[in-house]
Structure 1
Amino acid sequence: MPEKEGIKYASSETLPLTMASLGNSVKKSSAGHNNGAEMDGIKSAEWAAGEASDSKTASGQRPDTVVQLKRVLGLRNGVGLIVGNMIGSGIFVSPTTVVQYTGSVGMALVVWVATGLVTTVGALCYAELGTTIPKSGGNYTYILEAFGPLPAFLVIWTNFFIAKPFARAIVAITFANYLLQVFIPDCSSPPYYAVRLLAAALLCLIAYINCIGVKLGSRVQDTLALTKVVALFIIIIAGVQHLARGHVEYYVDPMKGTMWDVASFATAFYSTLFAYNGWYSLNFVAEELKSTDTTMPRAIAISMGIVTVIYTLTNVAYYAVLTPAEILSSSAVAVTFGNRMLGVLAWIIAFFVACSTAGNTNGSLMIQSRTVYAGAREGHFPKFLALLDDNATPVTAVMFSAVIPLVALMADNVGGLLAYTSFSNNLISLTAVLGLLWLRYKEPDRPRPFKVWLGFPIMYLMVNVFLAVFPIVRRPVEIAVALVTMISGLLVYYICIHRTKPRLLSKIIGKLTFLCQVLFMCSPEEKKE
């Protein structure tokens, strides 16, 4: 068996043998501590697994398989993951903010198209990163590779303890609100606890699906992505029919009322970036892709083309049917559109929005759990989060990624922190692309199966610097809170990562790892020799 720092790793075949002897293992492990054995986070469970594994190896029956993430996702799954994660609640609610800060229909459409082009450039840069560094974890992995452990830890600290859990809780609450509208159409304000319980049920169901395996999770994602596209096609067809009947009054002078100040334009851009958010999803599951070198670039190119065209046509339909005043007064533009154009079938839009948010929850949980898993492998999370079950699923990381949003649901105003996350997310993406340029300089001979034109990362960096600087004029307090949140991670890193862990903490982590191996039939990842 491969070893790391004197620790033996259990494979999926040897682990059941370990489970059968766990009672004795605990006793022996306790006795071993009296001899000075150290509990470093995974030793107790693997000690017993190592005995069974060694005996099997000695008899010449070592299994050919190793415990690691399996490459089971193809091109269709990749497109489904990206499209399903991008098309969330943003396209159904963001048009309101875009019109508010652009002032005209024409400029709003320009912003939507421009955002599609910018995110496509960023996605192609990430395609190079993902094929050059074919590991799961996305931004965290790339920043770790380029700039080291401290910046990488700040990525986890900022996104996966603060921003992402609250964002997922908001999406789950949006799902609950829209689903209740389907069954209680006359209820303008659904009961508070009904919304919370339904949101919690969604999070638990999505976690269960992803614990079963990535293949089931990807099938659910593909199905929900299809429902999103169908919903937007309904909106597009209805809008085209409205325009064909001669209702073009809002496009006669499309640039009328445009707000030309740069800060407003940047703020509108932030709103559309929220709708396009998720274009980087495939990079988080790189180790589970078949033929990463070809699948990732193709899936990214196809997905970005699909989403940009659909988003643009959807907004053309919105602005053809609704007045700017109606858009500005609407909390959910798609539902207002459905009430105007679909009559008694308006509930279909609410149902599809619920499906859309469910798909977004599924995709975001999938990619976050892989980042948690990657962080645990590198020592930035406890070792029990780097365990894989017999289906090569990081089940403990999935469960951990679902628990924090469940806790966030208890807050009365879970959306309060979302206003502070756009800046930090933009800064992390900027840093990852900066890492691409740094790796090109530091390791020019490194194999790059997919390589973008050098102007693309430079262009993307310029746009992101623009988006990071100008909104400070309008939102200085939010930017300050985002910076303080990120800086606070430095203290956590020093105490929990940089310094040697206290013996008691190491012992607790070891016991938790042992318990997780027993409960979930998991073992740490193995590497082929």
Structure 2
Amino acid sequence: MCEHSSVAAIGFGYTTEYMSVSIPSPPTHVRGLIRSVGLLTATSVVIANVIGGGIFTTPGFLARDLGSPTALMGIWVLGAILALAGALSYSELGSTFPEAGGEYVYLREAYGPLAAYVDGWISFFAGFTAPIAAACIGFAAYVSHFAPALGPDYVLTSLDLGGWHWRLSGAQLLGLIALWAVTIIHISGVERGARFQVIVTIGKVLALTALVVLGFLLGTGDWGHFEAGPDGHLPAAALRNLPISLIFVLYCYSGWNAAAYLAGEVREPGRTIPRSLIAGTGVVTVLYMGLNLLFIYGLPLPEMSGVLQIGEKASLALFGHSATHFVSVVMALSILASASAMILAGPRVYYAMASDGVIPKQLAGVHSRYHSPAASILLQTLWTSVLLLTGTFEQLIIYSGFVLVLFSALAVASVIVLRVRRPGLERPFRVPLYPFTPLLYIGFSAWILYFTLRDRPTESLWGIVTALIGIPLYFYWRRRNRVP
């Protein structure tokens, strides 16, 4: 934590004066944000942001499309390698530019403010807000196993306005309550939010570890489920469906860059950012491997094929009905931790944009008491609430996926661009096996973008259109805020 912190002025709870906060640490601060985040919190943010509900749903579709236990495990290993390549690349960027904002900062430094703005616009419009809304609904859906009135199918009230029909379900109400409760925690101080994040993430990791260990020790599975096909070769479908399957896997690994968004609040960012990204990705990989092995151990591949709630079905096969409630608790905790990590990370992007003057400057406000970017956190939660109540987050996730993969690849490419253009930059961490490591990530991202554009052209084009909307907004705010 820092000894002195300069805070910006906006609204209730803010001050226009510079304040001194007595804290027994060296005076280190970035644009009003206190460096109070340590390695454990940063790593927890990565783990929680990555592990959501995808690992409990995706394996069933992969089993259908790949048709082989070997291919199923292999694609998770490939996804881990690509996530690690991205994490190593972001480690160099995060240690070089220890500012709040993550890839927004890297794109700004490598390609200029316009590219960074479009990425930030997508992050706000859908990149963070839509997944947060989906996570809150998912959290409520699993809690509803204990209280059916809080389920997505239980309608509390409805409204007809012309041709538009709106309904409020129990899951939406509970999701909204969870959203605002976690928001208040993160507004009320970085340290308090960090403690909450660490607690829910540790609980999440312990619960998932217990599920895997108990599944192999006490579950009624069968190692024969791992046997290959009759000819010992991979089915032709495995190679044909590899690109689309890899997209699903990489979505499950997405979030490995979460700690980079907090770089402006991380202590010793040159050391902490790389360690948290690499350690977080490593923990996720181990858990993902264990869970997939457990699913195959519990169910033969034909019974896994195409099943959406694969986690529940595998647990039922391993433990019987007695495990249903435990799995629901694990899932609810996992999704809540993921939502919390996104609520924490996203506002740092808007804070950085406001500090650059490309969106309303009020969003760079830091709470005078809690030292959190409260204005940006509130704005994100307000928009997330709209998406949650209207149900539009599902479409936005689909539309924005293509563009988010594109900007992630561009951010990793920033490593190469900046090595060429600005070789004299101080780089506390250098990506190993350069340039192979970033090129590996960029190459597979390009491959995914090609197949996504080919197979889902409408959604991809809508994503591009959404990104292009950000261009006139960028010039408007630059002119309004008189940014040179």
Please indicate, yes or no, whether the TM-score normalized by the shorter chain is above 0.5: yes
Q: Would you say 1:478 and 2:450 are equivalent positions?
A: no
Q: Do the aligned partners of residues 487 and 350 (structure 1) sit closer, same or farther apart at CA in structure 2, a change above 3 Å counting?
A: same
Aligned residue runs from structure 1 range 304-315, under 5 A: 304-315=281-292
- CA offsets 1:503-523 (integer angstroms, 9 cap, x no match): xxx9xxxxxxxxxxxxxxxxx
8 Å Cα contact 2:261/2:345 also seen in 1: yes
Aligned residue runs from structure 1 range 256-335, under 5 A: 257=235, 259-262=237-240, 264-335=241-312
Letter in 2 for 1:284: Y
Give the whole-Å Cα distance in 2 for the aligned partners of 1:326 and 1:416.
30
Structure with the higher helix share, 1 or 2: 1
Give the whole-Å Cα distance in 2 for the aligned partners of 1:170 and 1:152.
25
Give the whole-Å Cα distance in 1 for the aligned partners of 2:137 and 2:93.
34
Q: Do the aligned partners of residues 65 and 94 (structure 1) sit closer, same or farther apart at CA in structure 2, a change above 3 Å counting?
A: closer
- CA offsets 1:275-295 (integer angstroms, 9 cap, x no match): 111100110001111111111
1:175 CA displacement: 0.5
Q: Would you say 1:352 and 2:333 are equivalent positions?
A: no
8 Å Cα contact 1:140/1:156 also seen in 2: yes
Q: Would you say 1:253 and 2:217 are equivalent positions?
A: no
Give the whole-Å Cα distance in 1 for the aligned partners of 2:108 and 2:374.
23
Q: Who is 1:138 aligned against? A: 102
225-234 vs 440-449, greater mean Cα deviation: 225-234
Give the whole-Å Cα distance in 2 for the aligned partners of 1:437 and 1:65.
29
8 Å Cα contact 1:169/1:405 also seen in 2: yes
Give the whole-Å Cα distance in 2 for the aligned partners of 1:126 and 1:320.
35
- CA offsets 1:351-372 (integer angstroms, 9 cap, x no match): 1111111111110011101111
Aligned residue runs from structure 1 range 69-80, under 5 A: 69-80=33-44
TM-score, structure 1 length as denominator?
0.79
8 Å Cα contact 1:238/1:317 also seen in 2: no
Q: Do the aligned partners of residues 487 and 230 (structure 1) sit closer, same or farther apart at CA in structure 2, a change above 3 Å counting?
A: same
1:99 CA displacement: 2.0
Give the whole-Å Cα distance in 2 for the aligned partners of 1:106 and 1:325.
14
Q: Who is 1:372 aligned against? A: 350
Q: Do the aligned partners of residues 498 and 399 (structure 1) sit closer, same or farther apart at CA in structure 2, a change above 3 Å counting?
A: closer
Q: Would you say 1:183 and 2:147 are equivalent positions?
A: yes
1:197 CA displacement: 0.5
Q: Do the aligned partners of residues 189 and 234 (structure 1) sit closer, same or farther apart at CA in structure 2, a change above 3 Å counting?
A: farther
TM-score, structure 2 length as denominator?
0.86
In the alignment of these two chains, the number of paired residues is: 453
Give the whole-Å Cα distance in 2 for the aligned partners of 1:341 and 1:246.
6
Q: Who is 1:395 aligned against? A: 374
Give the whole-Å Cα distance in 1 for the aligned partners of 2:141 and 2:314.
17
Letter in 1 for 2:213: I
Q: Who is 2:398 aligned against? A: 419
Q: Who is 1:83 aligned against? A: 47
Give the whole-Å Cα distance in 1 for the aligned partners of 2:143 and 2:226.
34
Larger Rg, first or second structure (1 or 2): 1
Q: Who is 1:497 aligned against? A: 477
Q: Who is 1:467 aligned against? A: 448
Q: Who is 1:34 aligned against? A: none
Give the whole-Å Cα distance in 2 for the aligned partners of 1:129 and 1:201.
36
Q: Who is 1:431 aligned against? A: 410
Letter in 2 for 1:391: Y
Give the whole-Å Cα distance in 1 for the aligned partners of 2:179 and 2:317.
32
1:198 CA displacement: 0.2
Q: Do the aligned partners of residues 258 and 214 (structure 1) sit closer, same or farther apart at CA in structure 2, a change above 3 Å counting?
A: farther
- CA offsets 1:409-463 (integer angstroms, 9 cap, x no match): 1224531222222211110111111111111101111111100131211222111
Q: Who is 2:23 aligned against? A: none
Q: Who is 2:421 aligned against? A: 442
162-171 vs 248-257, greater mean Cα deviation: 248-257
8 Å Cα contact 2:71/2:238 also seen in 1: no
Give the whole-Å Cα distance in 2 for the aligned partners of 1:148 and 1:222.
35
Give the whole-Å Cα distance in 1 for the aligned partners of 2:353 and 2:481.
17
Give the whole-Å Cα distance in 2 for the aligned partners of 1:229 and 1:282.
18
1:337 CA displacement: 2.1
465-474 vs 164-173, greater mean Cα deviation: 465-474
Give the whole-Å Cα distance in 2 for the aligned partners of 1:193 and 1:215.
34
8 Å Cα contact 1:81/1:282 also seen in 2: yes
8 Å Cα contact 2:43/2:279 also seen in 1: yes
Give the whole-Å Cα distance in 2 for the aligned partners of 1:360 and 1:186.
20
Q: Who is 2:364 aligned against? A: 386
- CA offsets 1:4-54 (integer angstroms, 9 cap, x no match): xxxxxx956x989x999xxxxxxxxxxxxxxxxxxxxx9xx84xx59xx9x
Residue identity (%): 25
RMSD: 2.9
Give the whole-Å Cα distance in 1 for the aligned partners of 2:210 and 2:443.
37
Residue 428 of structure 2 aligns to a residue whose secondary structure is coil
